[in-house]
């Protein structure tokens, strides 16, 4: 065999494809390996999570504590349960410490693995060429930037890996199904990300399309029954563990369902579909007022809503009456986007780009299908390669915006210039770097955008308190309290400053006021109890400490206080 023929055969082989998939999946997001700081949700959940830092004794708490409750306790406003995700961070910290290079490298590997598993699924349905084209596009898509780059974006990567693995094991097109492994991977997906529960209707739809014989379809009823039972058990576990098992934060929409439908339809086409196919318009900040309520008479919003309804409606018809596979892939992304669409649970922000990681598999499947059907035409394969390289190049170039906290928040402020939250976060990062002048500029912009954004002044006070600039901290706290005199946390911090300044009586009054304003604030209960204990009033301190432990048992301070309560009982 000639050398040229050997090269051509190798290029067409699966070995070459797997090597190419690995190279592209790492190369597209390679700048992530240069990240040196925890930022955004990575900072509290991974960088400063008390459970991760406490050692092996705290490992069981990963399975008995909510995702955000692990760092915020009972103050967590969003209820999520992701113990498998947190277990990966726990294992990494035990093995490598807080090694960002290793953590980001593992995210890159998971992206490659998800692409490889998608290849196996698509190959069974459309053949090798379609599977290769679709999976290569999937691993380089720019809309995956947030999922791959953020450490907490690993929830999207892991859930995709587990769902694809479960799908492969339970696939009706496979030579042999493996129910045990399929259901096990499904459970792992559920314990990684909540929206994984939508895999059940996806599997049903795929079987409906794949199994033409009704008898074969009925033969899988035991698999469905088992997965339904596991789903119910998972929901029961959430109810048992989480304080508010189905709470998603403060509602983003308060103007009625019609406006919600119009706005979300417009958002889908502008902020989900278009960035996914074009690799431009990627944004990590969708807080108000960039995404404002759509006017009820808006022609653009109405057109977006009607086109979306038509697309979903016609797809359901072809799926259930024609068993069309293209209709299945159209419905596929909506299944996984539904939990974050505000139609089921009220969320405090419109969906992030990371929510598109698993849904974008539908675009990859469609791309692979088109490549197969049109590959006989001249230039189609070249165009396909160009599209994949375009997505990869955009992913690579835009990744540099995420290598530092200042770069990340600068990009967020550029794409959402009217967001007070983005300007505020950027200002905080400048302060943390000691660049106070730049920090104040962005804090002032945040105040101009939202004069009543009280968190700005409180966090400025907290930053100065941590630097032991107590007079400046008091100045900013007074500003925060003028905007929100009912803020319990501000009174707590003011009490801490008074204690350090030797003003013990004033400190006691601030802690008392904090409890009065918000008796459900565990830190208010703790500081009031600690002040009474220091003042020689242990009996009066006991009920405050008891309420603190009851409200926030996972707090690192809870254990020593519980020990003191036990030792002092009966005195």
Give 431-470 as a DSSP string: HHTT-HHHHHHHHHHHHHH-TT-THHHHHHHHHHHHTT-H
C-alpha 46/C-alpha 119 separation (Å) is: 31
**Per mean pLDDT, which range of 8-12, 235-239, 256-260, 453-457 is the poorest?**
8-12
Q: Is the pLDDT of residue 420 over 70?
A: yes
Higher pLDDT pick, 211 / 494: 494
C-beta separation of 114 from 74 below 8 A:
no
With helix as H, strand as E and coil as C, how does 204-237 read? HHHHHHHCCCHHHHHCCHHHHHHHHHHHHHHHHH
| pLDDT 10s digits, 366-376 | 999 998 888 66
pLDDT at 166: 97
Alpha carbon separation from 312 to 66, 178, 277, 300, 396 (Å, rounded): 34, 32, 19, 18, 33
| Structure confidence at residue 207 as a pLDDT band (50, 70, 90) | very high
**Sign of the torsion formed by the C-alpha atoms of 18, 24, 25 and 30:** positive
Task: Find, among 22, 146, 38, 98, the residue nearest to 405 by Cα.
Answer: 38
Query: Strand, helix or coil at 301?
Result: helix
Give 309-367 as a DSSP string: HHHHHHHHHHHHHS--HHHHHHHHHHHHHGGGSSSSS--SSPPPGGGGTTTTHHHHHHH
**Per mean pLDDT, which range of 51-55, 120-124, 406-410, 512-516 is the poorest?**
51-55
| pLDDT 10s digits, 134-151 | 999 999 999 999 999 999
Higher pLDDT pick, 134 / 258: 134
Give 529-547 as a DSSP string: HHHHHHTT-HHHHHHHHHH
**Per mean pLDDT, which range of 101-110, 246-255, 335-344, 508-517 is the poorest?**
246-255
**Per mean pLDDT, which range of 187-196, 209-218, 420-429 is the poorest?**
209-218
* CB neighbour class for 418 (10 Å; exposed up to 12, middle 13-18, buried from 19): middle
**Sign of the torsion formed by the C-alpha atoms of 525, 526, 527 and 531:** positive
% of the chain beyond a pLDDT of 70: 93
| pLDDT 10s digits, 425-475 | 888 888 778 887 888 888 888 878 877 665 777 877 887 888 888 888 898
For residue 248, report the phi and psi dihedrals to the nearest 5 degrees.
-115, 15
Q: Is the pLDDT of residue 309 over 90?
A: yes
| pLDDT 10s digits, 35-83 | 888 888 888 889 888 788 777 878 888 898 888 887 776 666 778 899 9
**Residues written for the chain:** 571
Query: Strand, helix or coil at 293?
Result: coil
């Amino acid at each position: 065999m000639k050398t040229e023929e050997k090269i051509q055969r190798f290029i067409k082989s699966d070995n070459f494809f797997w090597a190419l998939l690995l190279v592209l999946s790492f190369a597209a997001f390679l700048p992530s390996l240069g990240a040196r700081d925890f930022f955004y949700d990575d900072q509290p959940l991974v960088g400063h999570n008390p459970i991760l830092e406490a050692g092996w004794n705290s490992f069981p708490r990963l399975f008995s504590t909510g995702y955000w409750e692990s760092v915020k306790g009972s103050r967590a406003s969003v209820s999520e349960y992701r113990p498998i995700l947190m277990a990966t961070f726990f294992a990494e910290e035990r093995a490598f410490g807080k090694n960002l290079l290793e953590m980001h490298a593992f995210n890159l590997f998971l992206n490659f693995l998800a692409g490889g598993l998608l290849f196996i699924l698509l190959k069974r349905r459309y053949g090798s060429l379609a599977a290769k084209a679709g999976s290569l596009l999937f691993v380089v898509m720019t809309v995956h930037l947030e999922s791959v780059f953020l450490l907490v974006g690993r929830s999207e990567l892991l859930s995709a890996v587990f769902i694809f693995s479960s799908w492969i094991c339970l696939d009706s097109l496979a030579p042999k199904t493996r129910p045990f492994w399929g259901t096990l991977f499904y459970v792992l997906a559920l314990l990684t990300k909540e929206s994984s529960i939508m895999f059940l209707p996806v599997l049903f739809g795929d079987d409906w399309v794949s199994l033409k014989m009704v008898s074969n379809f009925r033969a899988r009823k035991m698999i469905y029954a088992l997965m339904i039972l596991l789903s119910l058990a998972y929901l029961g576990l959430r109810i048992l563990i989480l304080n508010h098992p189905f709470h998603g934060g403060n509602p983003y929409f308060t103007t009625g369902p019609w406006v919600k439908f119009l706005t979300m339809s417009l958002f889908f086409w502008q902020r989900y579909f278009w960035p996914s196919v074009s690799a431009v318009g990627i944004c990590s900040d969708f807080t108000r007022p960039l995404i404002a309520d759509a006017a009820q008479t808006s022609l653009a919003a109405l057109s977006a809503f009607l086109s979306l309804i038509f697309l979903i409606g016609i797809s359901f018809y072809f799926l259930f009456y024609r068993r069309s596979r293209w209709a299945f892939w159209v419905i596929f992304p909506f299944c996984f986007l539904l939990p974050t669409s505000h139609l089921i649970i009220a969320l405090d922000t419109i969906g992030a780009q990371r929510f598109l990681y698993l849904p974008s598999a539908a675009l990859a499947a469609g791309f692979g299908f088109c490549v197969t059907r049109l590959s006989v035409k001249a230039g189609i394969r070249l165009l396909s390669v160009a599209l994949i390289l375009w997505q990869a190049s955009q992913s690579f170039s835009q990744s540099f915006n995420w290598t530092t906290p200042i770069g990340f928040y600068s990009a967020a402020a550029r794409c959402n210039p009217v967001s007070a939250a983005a300007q505020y976060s950027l200002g905080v990062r400048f302060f943390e770097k000691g660049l106070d002048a730049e920090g104040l500029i962005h804090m002032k912009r945040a105040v101009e955008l939202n004069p009543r954004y009280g968190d700005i002044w409180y966090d400025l006070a907290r930053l100065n308190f941590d630097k032991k600039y107590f007079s400046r901290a008091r100045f900013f706290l007074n500003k925060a309290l003028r905007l929100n005199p009912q803020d319990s946390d501000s009174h707590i911090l003011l009490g801490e400053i008074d204690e350090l300044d030797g003003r013990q009586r004033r400190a006691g009054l601030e802690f008392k006021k904090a409890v009065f304003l918000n008796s459900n604030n565990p830190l208010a209960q703790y500081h009031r109890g600690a002040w009474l204990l220091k003042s020689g009033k242990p009996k009066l301190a006991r009920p405050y400490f008891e309420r603190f432990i009851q409200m926030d048992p996972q707090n690192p301070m809870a254990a020593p206080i519980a020990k003191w309560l036990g030792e002092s009982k009966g005195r």
